[in-house]
Amino acid sequence: MPALFFSAYEIASLNQDEEEINKIYEQQLEAFLFSANQYADDILNTWIAKLEVGMQLTEVDTSSKEVKKLMDLNPSINSLITYYIDDEAATIIPRDTSVVQYMSEINKLLIENKDIGKRLIKYSKSGFQKIEPISFNINKELIVFLFHPGTNTDDGLIYGIVIDPVLFIEDVLGPRLQYIAKNRFALQATKVNEPYPIYSTFDSTNVESIKPVLSKDLWLLPDYKLGISTRGGSIQSIIKERTYTNLVLILALDAILILGVVLVFRNVRKEVKLAQNKSEFISNVSHEIRTPLALISMFAETLELGRVPTEEKKKEYYSIINKETQRLTGIVNKILSFSQMDAGKKRLSFESVNLKQVVENVLATYEYHLEKEQFIIQTELAEANINGDKDALTELLINLIDNAIKYSDKSKRIEINLLKKEGKAMLAVKDYGVGISKTDQKYIFDKFFRVSTGDLAKKQGTGLGLALVKQIVDAHNASIELKSDLGKGSTFIVSFPLEKVNNG
């Protein structure tokens, strides 16, 4: 009877299941579109970095090997522009002589958009390099990406990369779209208000006609969109087929329905959650590592080729390489520490530890970084001795401080308090940042967990910091408590048993 009742309930809820499956498919398709957009953005940023280096090393003309190499390897780059916002004419490095006859139209376009150049310089002074696309038509539609070079101290200088959007989609974005599609999905790039696609991952001349079920703007290219759909049938047909299969299984397996559903649901939910968290972990770590690696590679290559004009610049490049190397080392060490503790292979060396001294040493190490980030640290520290591993406790505090720095918003203030209460040493780290929702707080110490929505999701990280903190807390027979409200900040309170004093 329970199985029959459950079967009736499942049959009644099939429509709701269809809606959920539809949402899952749409989320998956949206993730693919995001990946394609992110890839295009990364390509443009790579071009900008190479252009800045090439322009910096030589005079702005076609003799620049770096500039010529960039254009030769990328057919979608129509020409390069450099100009001062107060001048009437720009210097244009064309791909071929056909562009020269349109120089007056390009100069006119730049004069009309002088305010964009001023705005780009204003962003650059604030430490943020923004890229502005402008569409224009000469003999064909082109897009110029204007930006202020971060490596140049001349406030009035603006660079521009003129691209053919159709060639960019075909030559640069096309291979990425094919990789994403893998004959399971159909992707196509279209221009707004035009009936035929510019690029498709399937043969549009075939009998097969596929209409995108989800369409998103291309971030870099105004008036262009990316569309995606499933191959071999619509989402609705896939959902209906799956629904029919589930209905047959429900009716055929009534005798073991309850036990089967309970076991499968628990195991699938656990595995899906773990797989999702691992996937997000790999993505986050890849993003974290890619930035310092790119900087190290770029500056090392510049130094190796002997293109640094002064010793002062060399020291600056060495400093950046050293800083980014330390950043990579920190990421790797965090992953290794977590892996060793998670596998039970890391042995802690317990001894009498002055917790106040540990806090003071960490703050002394962090002093330069905190001053640079303009953080105000307030402390109230009592003398407290516990039985613990000094290195592990240091790592615990560093992770909590890193967490407070990363998720602080406009109020850059951190409070660190250490007090003794009821036989415990209570260490509290409080920030006034974005806070954590009540829903996410119960998962915050899970390994690989990352908040997926809101301001917290925009911050990069491995998702291991707080999981490592929890491991260290458990190893010390301590407890950790989180108090947090969205928009009001978070407080992490770790309670350690005080060291027992031997009076004998």
Last residue of a domain, one of 131, 163, 195: 163
Report which listed range, 155-164, 268-277, 427-436, is most confident. 427-436
DSSP-derived pairing of the beta strands 413-421 and 376-381: parallel
Please check whether residues 379 and 490 belong to one and the same domain: yes
pLDDT on residue 276? 66
- 175 vs 504, residue with greater confidence: 175
Domain contains 55? no
pLDDT on residue 352? 92
* pTM exceeds 0.75, yes or no: no
How many residues would you count in the chain? Answer: 504
Q: In this structure, what CATH number is given to the domain that contains residue 111?
A: 3.30.450
Domain contains 90? yes
Please check whether residues 81 and 27 belong to one and the same domain: no
Last residue of a domain, one of 252, 272, 292: 252
Instruction: Evaluate if residue 4 carries a pLDDT over 70.
Output: no
- Coil, strand, or helix at residue 278? helix
- 229 vs 115, residue with greater confidence: 115
Please check whether residues 375 and 480 belong to one and the same domain: yes
pLDDT on residue 60? 47
Cα–Cα distance measured from residue 214 to residue 228, given in angstroms and rounded to the nearest whole number: 6
Please check whether residues 137 and 193 belong to one and the same domain: no
Question: Could you tell me the end-to-end alpha-carbon distance of the chain, in angstroms, rounded to an integer?
Answer: 69
Please check whether residues 383 and 450 belong to one and the same domain: yes
Domain contains 284? yes
Which residues fall within 8 angstroms of residue 22, CB to CB, at 6 or more apart? Answer: 235, 236, 239
Please check whether residues 172 and 153 belong to one and the same domain: no
Cα–Cα distance measured from residue 77 to residue 69, given in angstroms and rounded to the nearest whole number: 11
User: Smallest Cα–Cα separation from 55: which of 87, 93, 89?
Assistant: 93
Domain contains 276? yes
User: Smallest Cα–Cα separation from 331: which of 458, 472, 464?
Assistant: 464
Please check whether residues 112 and 229 belong to one and the same domain: no
Report which listed range, 11-25, 234-248, 462-476, is most confident. 462-476
Please check whether residues 114 and 184 belong to one and the same domain: no
Please check whether residues 174 and 159 belong to one and the same domain: no
Domain contains 236? yes
Domain contains 35? yes
Last residue of a domain, one of 163, 194, 228: 163
If you count DSSP H runs as helices and E runs as strands, how many of each does the chain have, helices first?
A: 14, 16
Domain contains 61? no
Cα–Cα distance measured from residue 149 to residue 46, given in angstroms and rounded to the nearest whole number: 13
Distances (CA, A) of 85 to 55, 327, 345, 442: 17, 38, 61, 53
User: Smallest Cα–Cα separation from 394: which of 437, 365, 418?
Assistant: 365
Domain contains 258? no
Please check whether residues 325 and 380 belong to one and the same domain: no
DSSP conformation class of 171:
I
User: Smallest Cα–Cα separation from 45: which of 136, 166, 130?
Assistant: 130
Please check whether residues 312 and 415 belong to one and the same domain: no
Range of the domain at 359: 351-497
Average pLDDT on 13-25 reads 64
Domains contained in the chain, number? 4
Please check whether residues 297 and 437 belong to one and the same domain: no
